[in-house]
Structure formats: C-alpha cells, structure tokens
Amino acid sequence: MKAWRVCLALPLFVISTISQADTMVLIHGYLGDAFSWENSGVSTVLQQNGWQRGRFQRQVNTNQFYSINLPSAASIAVQANYLRPILTRISQWHPQDRLILVGHSAGGVVARLMVVEKVVPNIDTLITIASPHVGTPRAAQALDYADTGLPFSLFQWFFSNDLYHKSRAGAGLFLDLLAPRPGNLLYWLNAQAHPQIHYYSIIRKFSMGRGDQMVPSFSQDMNNVPALRGRSGTLVMDLTHTLQPVDGQNILLILRQIKQSQGTKVAAR
C-alpha cells in the first residue's frame, strides 16, 4: 500500500452516499471527550458531507458517526474496557455496515488495541490522528513531574495550577505511552498480529518537521509498528497536535481513497 503526502491547503472533497453504509466511531485523546470532535469542527465537516449522527438505531444506506466518551486519563486497558461494549453495541445495530475507527492521540492506541483484539467482526478501517504508536517522550516527562518527591511535591501541589494533579491522575496512561520496551503495553501491542484491514496514519509535522508538540512524527506513523510495517497509508499535515476542521476532510479523503481502490480491484476481476 502506497503512502501519500498532502500539503496544508487540502482541497474540499465530498463523498456521496453509497449503497452500503459506513459507520464511524470517533475516539478522543487524553483530556478530551466526545465534544472534542464537535468543538474542533470535525463533526460539522462530516455532517456537511452527508454523515448523520448515530442514534443507536437501525438505518439502511445511511452513513453515521458516533462520538463516544472514555475516561481519557485512565490507562489504555481501562479505556478499552469502556470502549469494548460500546463497539459491540454499535456493531449489533449496524451489522452490515463497514465499521471505521478514528482515534486522536492516545485514542488511536486504544482503537488499535480493539482492532488487535478483534472485538467486533466488521471493523474495516483504522484511522489514527497524531497517535503515539511508538510512544512519546512527553509520557516520561509527565511521569517524572508526577513523581517528584517531598517536600517539593507539596509546592507543586499548591502552586502549579492543575498540571501536577493531571500528571498524577494520568500516570497509568503515561506508563502505557512510554516507548516500547519489554514488559510494557506498546512493546506487547506492536508485536501482535494485526488483521488485514485498512490502516491510515494522519501525521503532524509541525515547525521543525519532527512532529507536533506532543508526539514525534515517527511515532505517529503506523508503518513504524513492527507488525504493520508497509501496511499503513500516510497523510502528512503541517499542524499542531489538536484536532482541526481539516481532519474531517482528511478522514473523507481517506475513505474516498479506499473506495476508489476497492472499485479498481473489482473492475480488475
């Protein structure tokens, strides 16, 4: 599968409704929630292009998307425990639909764990946005900050706004987002067999071209996961880590690319 690169000035693409519907699940990142997709403008872009908000109802030939809430400061395993029954329910309501998982930041790692676990049978595509698949130095920095010993930790507790509190609360997640090494989550996850579905990495290369302020660009590319080498499409954007309206267009562009590829394969037969 070939990767492609786009510039910041991405043109507007409109995807028409097709006979077989798609169902999309949007999974937020650390300190985000379901409204992250709304506040960023991604949900608006999807709606403008024919996607409807999911209502846990059976609808035929209708592209729908669900924005779900996870405990974003919890470990990947805990977030997965929340997501697993949600995906099961959505799959039951849309058994004939292609299921598309879109994860931002740590949400992309949670989504990839669901893919590896084969939680539901109809996952067709995984799209991750600025996700730390090979870890991030920021996780180690946050753990160091949270682990400062007494008495300096008392000073941090009272005078450092809520950063210290957030670092302590997210310690389990930060451990999971450390660079792969024997015994940690990413080391295990990145060695697991990944099913034959579509994988796409939306990569940030902001400022010096080394990634955004949170995750190195190398880590955002699923091709650098040993089990996925050469299997992920890539789309590179000059943006910061946060979600942007153009991410909605990126998602639509990727889905169009998939359908064009599938049409070409059918025609070749």
The pLDDT value given to residue 146: 58
In the predicted model, is pLDDT for residue 42 greater than 90? yes
User: How is the beta sheet containing 98-104 ordered, strand by strand?
Assistant: 52-53, 64-68, 22-27, 98-104, 123-129, 198-204, 232-237
Average pLDDT, the chain: 84
Structural domain total, the chain: 2
Answer whether residue 7 is part of any domain: no
**Lowest-pLDDT range of 5-9, 56-60, 131-135:** 5-9
The pLDDT value given to residue 14: 33
In the predicted model, is pLDDT for residue 213 greater than 80? yes
The pLDDT value given to residue 191: 97
Are 74 and 105 in the same domain?
Answer: yes
pLDDT tens-digit profile of 238-252? 999 999 999 999 999
In the predicted model, is pLDDT for residue 235 greater than 90? yes
The pLDDT value given to residue 208: 58
DSSP string over the chain? -------SSPPP--PPP-SS-EEEEEE--TT--THHHHHTTHHHHHHHTT-EE--SS--TT--EEEEE---TTS-HHHHHHHHHHHHHHHHHHSTTSEEEEEEETHHHHHHHHHHHHT-STTEEEEEEES--TT--HHHHHHHHHHTPPTTHHHHHHHHSTTHHHHHHHTHHHHHHTSPP-TTSHHHHHTTS---SSEEEEEEE--TTTSB-SSSBHHHH-GGGSGGGTTTEEEEEE---SS--HHHHHHHHHHHHHHHHHHHHHHHH-
204-211: average pLDDT: 72
The pLDDT value given to residue 62: 86
pLDDT tens-digit profile of 181-191? 999 999 999 99
pLDDT tens-digit profile of 150-166? 444 433 443 344 444 44
Are 248 and 129 in the same domain?
Answer: yes
Tokens of 94: 């849309």
Are 73 and 26 in the same domain?
Answer: yes
**Lowest-pLDDT range of 13-22, 34-43, 114-123, 216-225:** 13-22
Q: Which of the four pLDDT bands, split at 50, 70 and 90, describes residue 141? A: confident
Are 96 and 216 in the same domain?
Answer: yes
CB 26 within 8 A of CB 67: yes
Are 109 and 224 in the same domain?
Answer: yes
- Whole-prediction pTM value? 0.84
In the predicted model, is pLDDT for residue 224 greater than 80? yes
Give the CATH number of the domain where residue 84 resides: 3.40.50.1820
In the predicted model, is pLDDT for residue 236 greater than 50? yes
Answer whether residue 5 is part of any domain: no
The pLDDT value given to residue 4: 35
Are 150 and 256 in the same domain?
Answer: no
Find the helix packing angle between 106-117 and 76-93, rounded to 10°: 60
Structural domain span for residue 111: 22-136+182-263
